[in-house]
Structure 1
Amino acid sequence: MKRILMKGNEAIARSAILGGCEAFFGYPITPQNEIPEYLSRYMP
């Protein structure tokens, strides 16, 4: 398995995508700002 270095919030978002997440809802506040940003960038 390839190792990837990333922040915790990015790991949560990537795990959601790999787990089959098809939609996300959120309010853009810190400290979870990176999660919706990552999901909007990489979700199919």
Structure 2
Amino acid sequence: MSLVTILLNIFLPPLAVFLKHGISTTLLISILLTMLVWLPGVIHAFIVNK
């Protein structure tokens, strides 16, 4: 995982997921989790971007 990916996972989780998976249900889940509370979105981004 590159430094850019790690930083995107922390600061813009949906963007990091979009760059890896494109428009998909994974992106929608990431957006939802990030909107509810930021931390679950970050955790989800790290999990799906392994």
Q: Which has the larger radius of gyration?
A: 1
Q: Give the TM-score band, short-chain normalised.
A: 0.3 to 0.5
Q: TM-score, normalised by structure 1?
A: 0.36
Hey, which of these two has a bigger chunk of helix by percent? 2
Q: TM-score, normalised by structure 2?
A: 0.33
**Higher relative contact order at CA 8 Å, sep ≥6: structure 1 or structure 2?**
1
